[in-house]
Amino acid sequence: MKKEFITYEIALRLKELGFDEECFMIFRDGTLKAPALTDWYNHNCRIGNTISAPLWQQVIDWFREKHNIHIEILSFDTETILYDPIVKQLINGEWSDEYPEYDSQDNYYTARELAIQKAIEILFEN
Domain ranges of the chain: 2-54, 59-125
Find the mean pLDDT for residues 6-29. 91
- Distance, in Å, from the CA atom of 73 to the CA atom of 1, rounded to the nearest integer, reads 21
CB 71 within 8 Å of CB 115:
yes
List pLDDT tens digits, range 65-110.
Answer: 999 999 988 888 767 788 888 888 888 888 886 665 667 788 889 9
Judge contact between 23 and 43, C-beta under 8 A.
Answer: yes
**Residue 102 contacts by C-beta under 8 Å, 6 or more apart in sequence?**
84, 85, 111, 114, 118
Sorting pLDDT into bands at 50, 70 and 90, what band is 38? low
Strand ranges inside 7-80, DSSP E = 25-28, 31-33, 50-53, 69-77
User: What's the whole-model pTM score?
Assistant: 0.84
